[in-house]
Amino acid sequence: MIKGVGVDIVKISRFNDVNNHFIDRILTDEEKKEYELRSDKVNYLASRFASKEAYFKATQDIHYLGISILNDKNGKPYVLNKKNIHLSISDEDEYVIAYLIVEE
């Protein structure tokens, strides 16, 4: 049974000139490790932000910035330590969209 659905879309360019305080607020330690390795830092940050917003919309969890959005060995995104959550992230040109379903 579906408990919640969340979707969020962001314009990637919004994240071009963010400062370290913003990055520290949005990314968890696990995500920051991956962020430092990425060549597409802006896209990565935008995708994590959209995913966390979608998570909040689906769960109403006010601690949504504390969740970690990681990728498995095949690249599939997932929410660390959260079962029954399905997440899809896509990007096209200027936008990133995240769609999240929470099952009971």
Per-residue pLDDT of the chain (104 residues; tens, 9 = 90+): 999 999 999 999 999 999 999 999 999 999 999 999 999 999 999 999 999 999 999 999 999 999 999 999 999 999 999 999 999 999 999 999 999 999 98
Query: 90 vs 11, 75, 77, 104, CA distance in Å?
Result: 12, 12, 10, 25
- Whole-prediction pTM: 0.93
Alpha carbons 57 and 104: distance in angstroms, whole number: 16
Residues facing 67 on adjacent strands: none
Evaluate whether 2 touches 99 at the Cβ level (below 8 Å): no
Could you give the CA distance from residue 76 to residue 70 in angstroms, rounded to a whole number?
8
Cα 10 to Cα 63: distance, rounded to the nearest angstrom = 20
